Structure 1
Amino acid sequence: MVVANVLLVPSHDLYLPIHSLVHYRAQVIKQKAIEDIPLPSSQYSFALSDPSICDLDHYTSKVTAKNLGRTEVTLVDSHMKGKLGVKPQSSHIYVVDPDVISFSIDRGNNWYLQKGVDYKINVRLSDAFGNQMHIPDNALFHTTLSNDHFDIIEQSRNGTYFHVIARKSGTSSVKSSLVSIQDEFGVEHPFSTTIAADQELQISDKLEAHPYIVVFPYQPNKPYTYQLRATGGTGSYSWQSNNPRVGIVDENRGKITTGEIGETIIRVEDVYNSQHFALVHVYVLEPAELHFGESHVEAELEKELTLNVLLHGLDPKTQKLMPFTDCRHIPFNVGVDDVTIFRHLRDVPSEIPKYGRGCATVTLKALSIGDTKAKIQFNRFIDAIDISAFPPLVLSTKYQLLLATGSEILVDLQGGPRPWMKDSSKYFTKADPQNKKYVKVFGDIKSYKLHCSKQVGDVDIIVSVGNFKSKTNPLPVISKATITVCCAVPERIALNTRHPAAKPGLPACPSFVHSVFYGYPSLILLTAYGRCANELDAEEQMFDSLTSVKAKYDVDNEKLLTVKPSDELPNEPNKLTAAANPSGKSGTAKISATATIGDQKLLTSLTLNLVGIAVAKPSSILSVFDLCIEGASLDINIKVTDVNKVKIIGSDLVEMNALTPLRIQVLDIDDQPFSSHDVKMMDLDIVSQLDYVRLTPLNLLEHHARGVSVGTSSIVATVKSSTGNVVRSAPHLIQVFSPLRLFPEVVPLIPEAVFQFEILGGPIPAPELYFNMTKSGVVDINSIGLIKSAKTLGEVTVTAVVTNGKSKDIISQDTAIVRVVSLAGIRLVLSSNIVEEGDIISAHIEGLDQDETPFAFGGAEYPF
């Protein structure tokens, strides 16, 4: 008989090293509660079977191991002494030498750990036979853990228990050695042999699966495959699905393939520690709602606009809408209200959006400036979104500006996103200097004035154009441009004359020529050159603004010329201008200029030649002599003339999709045409007022006009005379008409019958038609297409011809076949063969041959 309600603690056998101290207790179970029995007591006490192995302190109930060996601890109940069949509670103590240190860790006893997780690490001790030893509180272990890799929450005094949190990923180790055992008197007893061990461990980032929820539309004929990603852990993963009917997953790669409607959970775990895992919820649902997702709704001209498509499925359990992760296989119908503004690019594959929200994309291309709507449809679901196309952002200045200190320049903005159609108040433009120490910005909306301070330096100015975020434009496009402005002091100045613009086909006036006409004023230009202070080794460049520079001019011979500052080029701040007024005499004058920039003065000069204009008579002979060869000369006839008028020669009619030649003549005052070589210098321009014809140049003076749609276009040619006046031709009208057509194409007639052709197309008003026949004596036809068959049977081809009325050139024609046949017989054809009383039916007569309709004999001279 065993007393079940009294317990010995500890009740199991213990393996102890020498000098270990163990506290034994007795407990009693009362009404499912456990209570300690105060010891010593009159009823309970402890006893040892071999006091030579261990000492027992009866007052404290502590046992001290003294010598190697075995003994038994017994809980003695004085009330049970002498009762047969009652076995007292007992356990054995084995005093042995320690041999091996080992380690254990909770959460699966696996040394692949995860950052951010708490662990409990224990140091264990075994004897030579592998028996697990009890480590007493009076044992002392020297145990170390890396402070870089662990935060210690709690640890035991003897160094055998640690509660830690892994804080840093990487490889580390736990090291421990048994140092000594301290007896009850405080005396340490070191071990003669070193017992030590270490355990390597690896800490990795937390294992996570991305994304943790994926939703797909149910498409049995085209299932979806999707690559799941895992991060953290050791990098070796195993994947499994708990419902393969909904989705199967590649065990090693993590690629899922959808199946039936429903839900499955994908578990990814670390191959080296299955306690480290993450879950992915996979849903396969029926589509329930369609929208455009959050995306850009503005695009620059000639660039693509990618719209996100947001399709939802309905979770049958929660009745909540869930956005699909991937819906690229859905056959969406995409349209644009105005296809001249945006065009749907069907060949661009749909993608999972890289920004915003959605499960697929549709791509449009911006063709012209404007606002319109894009629409998308799938089954009964439909949605529309406002979209806008804008021109690229262009600045009126260069993107790198060199300004004299204190000067300013005007920057005009063109293009960029337009005010949003739903809320134009969100529109903005900005010009922000990165450092206001050097440049200040004034102005707003489309024009900004950049003003350099008096300090030398450079700064970037960020120009931004766009709209602020709004409900209908959640991801507005911001066009940006960067202007680098350098404020510097010029190193030198230069004077020059303003040369006339180069004429087409002629070289420009050389920059080193400083000659002006003494008959009227000329413009003198002052420019400055230098470099930015932080680019002293850079090439010299011309300043872009000199508005703060003051210039003074002097002339050495004021009888020939006077020079005064002027403001004739306000839109060219890179030049200072002065008016040079000659007295009407030829000669040479030296102009000196002094430019003042702050405290600095720069000097330069220019020698100006005052000359007259060469004059030639309208017609003369130029003789060229070879001065070195006797009798060698050449006479060249020279004619000086000007443009008098311009003519366009060509047909005024053209069939649609046909070509007609046009020739341009530029005539002089003698009505003689200029050569194409001369016309090259006259800025010839040919303009079609309407788009009914398309002009294709063959050379400078010859073009082809192609009719592209029915209507009348006006074509005008212009040239510039030697004085700069524009000379225009009289408008040349070209009518584009539909091709001439005869109906029907085949006409069967009996002899001596009459039939009228239906004539379509041709010019308006209808011109006179000419009919040609391949054979005479079969039919007669007049100018309006009325046919009369003769008595002779046969077949003839009739050709209707329209000419231009001048050169009789054919501009359109069509053919038909007329057959004169003998009527073999007739038949009566009723509209119905079954009638009721009171019904009305129609009847007509046909010939027995298939082509012999009532028209074949309805106009005969002797009708039925």
Structure 2
Amino acid sequence: MGILYRYKVKVEGGSGNFTWASSNETVAMVTTKGVVTAGQVWGNSTVLARDVQNLFRYGEIKIYVLKLNKMELLPFHADVEIGQLIEIPIAMYHINEETKEAIPFTDCSHLSLDLNMDKKGVFTPLKEGIQRPGPKHCSSTHIAAKSVGHTLLTVSVTEYEEYLESSATFAAYEPLKAVNPVEVALVTWQSVKEVVFEGGPRPWILEPSHFFSELSVEKTEKIEITQVWPPAKTKQNQYIYRVRCLDLGEQVLTFQVGNHPGVLNPSPAVEVVHVRFICAHPASMSVTPVYKVPAGAQPCPLPQHSKQLIPVSSLRDTVLELAVFDQQRRKFDNFSSLMLEWKSSNETLAHFENYNSVEIVAKDDGSGQTRLHGIVKIYGCFHISAKWFCIKYFLLGDGLFQIVSYLTFHL
């Protein structure tokens, strides 16, 4: 006994009032409202709708109930972000014994489908997924992406003791995101920012040559981009670019990654993310001492303004940390192109080993974005006294700038 399908036949034109008839009610029956039921017996029937007000006006539709001989998966999307769903269209066919023509079924959504995956945990089938026909398929199923990887999905059906199956490969990937910077990078003229992206589609396992990744810019004459291949210890899906400022200004960097269309993945996923890259003049800076605070201890309070005394130890050298800001008080990610000069107002009490050099270190701000800070050490603090320290630096570029910052230390 076959599966019973029901359809509401739509009629265009006429008076809207029709009589209905089926040429073979064993195969297909039709109600007075144009609802056709069929599927329990193989064969064909013609369903006719005749206009009550004009019996010479009628329309008809052919109903075929045929044996299932072939099935195939027709995935339109084969890779998807973790947490998303993929709808998998399924086509089924009857093979004409004489002509060998494959006749596609209009509806096979009532058939019970079995799903099997060679790698568990990458996708999970939706038990309550809607099996619905479409323009080019007679049924469908859904799977949800759970973890990074790929799997071979096999869909099978058993009809009248005949077993049919079809397989296709699907992949899941992490969301694409900008890691460093998260949104905005700020550098001085001729400085470099290492821009890092992570996640997104991976090379399609069946056609890896179709994979691509690219970083595009709005104004190519203002910045210079060099791709950096990440070390082996970093994540495989991480993309690093060195972006150098060639001229002052702001623009948007657009990174996209994905695969070009292919036979086995006709509509692959392509993900896009944007970050802002700003090249600007420095406007101010801050210098703070670096304290090594024992676990559980409270750090020394930092100054609220430049003329407030800063407590430091007279028994050991003091490390100072420099940060640079633009006119909007945004901290620079990189200011290594600047010439720095450090001075002490009384070198008898405190001095620098090298007044023109500074160690540049990267610090994470907690979001994953790193910004460079200048580190310098003061030597020879042995007396208790109030001293002024002056720092000034110059910008090399289309102009010469000097900014002076003063700090008072209590030794």
TM-score class normalised by the smaller sequence: 0.7 to 0.9
Q: How far did residue 432 of structure 1 move?
A: 1.7
The correspondence of residues 52-63 of structure 1 with structure 2, limited to 5 A, is none
| Identity within the alignment, % | 19
- Structure 2 counterpart of 1:286: 67
CA distance in 1, matches of 2:88, 2:109: 13
CA distance in 1, matches of 2:396, 2:58: 74
Q: Which one-letter code corresponds to 1:447 in the other structure?
A: I
Q: How far did residue 407 of structure 1 move?
A: 3.4
The correspondence of residues 668-707 of structure 1 with structure 2, limited to 5 A, is none
Q: How far did residue 607 of structure 1 move?
A: 0.9
Q: 2:127 aligns with which of 338, 346, 350?
A: 346
3-state SS in 2 of match to 1:383 = strand
Q: How far did residue 280 of structure 1 move?
A: 6.6
CA distance in 2, matches of 1:523, 1:589: 14
Unmatched segments (≥5 aa) in structure 1: 1-218, 532-539, 612-864
The correspondence of residues 174-573 of structure 1 with structure 2, limited to 5 A, is 220-225=2-7, 245=25, 257-259=37-39, 260-262=41-43, 283-315=64-96, 319-352=100-133, 358-379=137-158, 380-397=163-180, 398-443=182-227, 446-459=239-252, 461-490=253-282, 492-497=283-288, 499-500=290-291, 510-512=301-303, 514-518=310-314, 519-531=316-328, 540-559=329-348, 560-562=350-352, 563-569=355-361
Identify if the C-alpha distance between structure 1 residues 552 and 485 changes in structure 2 by more than 3 Å, giving closer, same or farther: same
- Relative contact order, higher structure (CA 8 A, sep 6+): 2
Identify if the C-alpha distance between structure 1 residues 607 and 427 changes in structure 2 by more than 3 Å, giving closer, same or farther: same
- Structure 2 counterpart of 1:609: 409
3-state SS in 2 of match to 1:565 = coil
CA deviation map 1:451-482 (0-9, x unaligned)? 333142322x2212222233333332222212
Q: 2:374 aligns with which of 577, 580, 584?
A: 577
3-state SS in 2 of match to 1:305 = strand
CA distance in 2, matches of 1:422, 1:223: 38
The correspondence of residues 790-829 of structure 1 with structure 2, limited to 5 A, is none
Aligned CA-pair RMSD: 4.2
3-state SS in 1 of match to 2:70 = strand
Q: How far did residue 579 of structure 1 move?
A: 1.2
- Corresponding residue pairs, total: 378
CA distance in 2, matches of 1:435, 1:392: 27
Largest Rg, 1 or 2: 1
Q: Which one-letter code corresponds to 2:342 in the other structure?
A: Y
| Structure 1 contact 524–579 (Cα < 8 Å) conserved | yes
Q: Which one-letter code corresponds to 1:372 in the other structure?
A: T
| Structure 1 contact 567–577 (Cα < 8 Å) conserved | yes
| Structure 1 contact 530–542 (Cα < 8 Å) conserved | no
The correspondence of residues 95-244 of structure 1 with structure 2, limited to 5 A, is 220-225=2-7
3-state SS in 2 of match to 1:287 = coil
3-state SS in 1 of match to 2:209 = helix
CA distance in 2, matches of 1:264, 1:433: 63
Q: How far did residue 546 of structure 1 move?
A: 2.8
3-state SS in 2 of match to 1:363 = strand
Identify if the C-alpha distance between structure 1 residues 318 and 512 changes in structure 2 by more than 3 Å, giving closer, same or farther: farther
Q: How far did residue 433 of structure 1 move?
A: 2.0
CA deviation map 1:579-637 (0-9, x unaligned)? 132213244332222342631525141314254xxxxxxxxxxxxxxxxxxxxxxxxxx
CA distance in 1, matches of 2:291, 2:55: 86
3-state SS in 2 of match to 1:569 = strand
CA distance in 2, matches of 1:478, 1:285: 40
CA deviation map 1:146-192 (0-9, x unaligned)? xxxxxxxxxxxxxxxxxxxxxxxxxxxxxxxxxxxxxxxxxxxxxxx
- Structure 2 counterpart of 1:623: none
- Structure 1 counterpart of 2:235: none
| Structure 2 contact 24–46 (Cα < 8 Å) conserved | no
Q: Which one-letter code corresponds to 1:594 in the other structure?
A: Y
CA distance in 2, matches of 1:315, 1:504: 81
Unmatched segments (≥5 aa) in structure 2: 230-238, 305-309, 365-369
Q: TM-score, normalised by structure 1?
A: 0.38
3-state SS in 2 of match to 1:412 = strand
Q: How far did residue 497 of structure 1 move?
A: 2.3
| Structure 2 contact 323–331 (Cα < 8 Å) conserved | no
| Structure 1 contact 405–454 (Cα < 8 Å) conserved | yes
- Structure 2 counterpart of 1:32: none
- Structure 2 counterpart of 1:596: 395
| Structure 2 contact 289–318 (Cα < 8 Å) conserved | no
3-state SS in 1 of match to 2:395 = strand
The correspondence of residues 826-837 of structure 1 with structure 2, limited to 5 A, is none
CA deviation map 1:815-853 (0-9, x unaligned)? xxxxxxxxxxxxxxxxxxxxxxxxxxxxxxxxxxxxxxx
Q: TM-score, normalised by structure 2?
A: 0.74
CA deviation map 1:318-373 (0-9, x unaligned)? 5421333332211111111222333223233334469xx53333333333333332
3-state SS in 1 of match to 2:205 = coil
